[in-house]
């Protein structure tokens, strides 16, 4: 039977990928970020996690605004990493878990989620930016990925409450899968940040830490917030936090924070948080 081992919240800042590919892991400006992921990578290894279910958003690499689904499950044996304008990254194709992907897609439809599915479309930094910091990959990825794309770009967006319910439905899907899997749920996206308009460069560290505390202890309060609430507190792009709520919805009510690294050096705090369910 498939088992959810824990969950990971992580930023997916595109410059993380650029710095990683340029070998800046020991650069003083980047070392606090990369070191912050090492305990999570070690946990994944020790827990023998073989599957990551990743909630992320596509930045118009696989979808465009003439057809941008609200929720979409990637189905395929592998996914290429998108070239987002700086050339193709030196990463192996991301391995897909075909059986689990199909099961989750069918289960979500039966659970009354009108989801889309996609094949043969690349995964951009929304998924691929943090991935090499979590898994070794010189000889290929040690596990497989179930990518679940959430629309946080084109209005109307799914509500925070709907993303929470999506996570709950994904949990039911994983737990009803007959195959043996050790699964970690990953929610990606920025905390407070805005990259355009009058508030370009905006951050709210106080709200970031309040959000992280509420995510652990009072997530349902976050589901009652509107998109305008998130953007007022954290900037326009901080609406990506609803993808962390999808991750949290897939966990039990009580979770334990095992590791947190919060590093604000650019337009958004580059953050990784690791949680396990309490017995």
User: How far is it, in rounded angstroms, from Cα 169 to Cα 104?
Assistant: 9
CA 88 to chain centre: 21
DSSP for 23-67 reads T-TTSTTTHHHHHHHHHHHHHHHHTT--EEEEEE---SSS-BTTB
Phi, psi of 265 (to 5 degrees): -130, -15
Torsion, CA 225, CA 230, CA 254, CA 45, rounded to 10: 150
Instruction: Verify whether residue 125 is a known catalytic residue.
Output: yes
Question: In this structure, are residues 168 and 76 in contact, taking their beta carbons and an 8 Å threshold?
Answer: no
Sheet holding 181-188, edge to edge: 116-118, 71-74, 144-150, 51-56, 181-188, 2-10, 269-277, 255-264
Tally of CB atoms within 10 A around 225: 19
Instruction: Verify whether residue 137 is a known catalytic residue.
Output: no
User: How far is it, in rounded angstroms, from Cα 121 to Cα 115?
Assistant: 16
Of 12, 103, 125, 227, the catalytic one is: 125
HSE-up (13 A, CA, CB side) for residue 207: 19
The pair of three-digit structure tokens given for residue 242, joined into one six-digit string: 């609803």
Of 12, 103, 193, 227, the catalytic one is: 193
Helix (H) or strand (E) holding 8: strand 2-10
The pair of three-digit structure tokens given for residue 106, joined into one six-digit string: 């069918």
> Is 149 exposed, middle or buried, given 0-12, 13-18 or 19+ CB atoms closer than 10 A?
buried
Q: Known catalytic residues? A: 125, 193
């Amino acid at each position: 039977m498939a088992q959810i081992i824990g969950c990971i919240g992580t930023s997916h800042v595109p410059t993380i990928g650029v710095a990683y590919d340029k070998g800046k892991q020991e650069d003083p400006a980047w070392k606090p970020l990369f070191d912050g992921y090492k305990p999570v990578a070690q946990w994944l290894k020790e827990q023998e996690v073989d599957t990551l279910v990743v909630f992320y958003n596509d930045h118009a690499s696989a979808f465009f605004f003439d057809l941008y689904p609200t929720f979409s499950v990637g189905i395929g044996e592998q996914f290429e990493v998108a070239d987002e304008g700086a050339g193709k990254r030196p990463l192996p194709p991301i391995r897909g878990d075909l059986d689990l992907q199909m099961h989750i897609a069918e289960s979500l439809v039966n659970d009354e989620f009108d989801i889309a599915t996609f094949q043969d479309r690349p995964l951009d930094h929304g998924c691929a930016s943090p991935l090499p910091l979590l898994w070794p990959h010189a000889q290929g990825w040690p596990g497989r990925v179930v990518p679940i794309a959430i629309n946080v770009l084109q209005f109307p967006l799914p509500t925070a409450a709907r993303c929470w319910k999506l996570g709950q439905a994904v949990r039911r899907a994983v737990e009803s899968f007959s195959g043996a899997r050790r699964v970690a749920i990953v929610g990606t996206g920025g905390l407070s940040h805005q990259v355009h308009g009058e508030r370009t460069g905006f951050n709210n560290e106080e709200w970031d830490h309040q959000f992280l505390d509420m995510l652990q202890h009072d997530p349902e309060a976050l589901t009652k917030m509107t998109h305008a609430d998130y953007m007022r507190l954290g900037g326009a792009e901080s609406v990506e936090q609803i993808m962390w709520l999808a991750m949290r919805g897939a966990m039990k009510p009580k979770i334990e924070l095992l590791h947190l690294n919060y590093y604000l050096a650019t337009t958004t705090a580059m953050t990784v948080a690791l949680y396990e369910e309490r017995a």
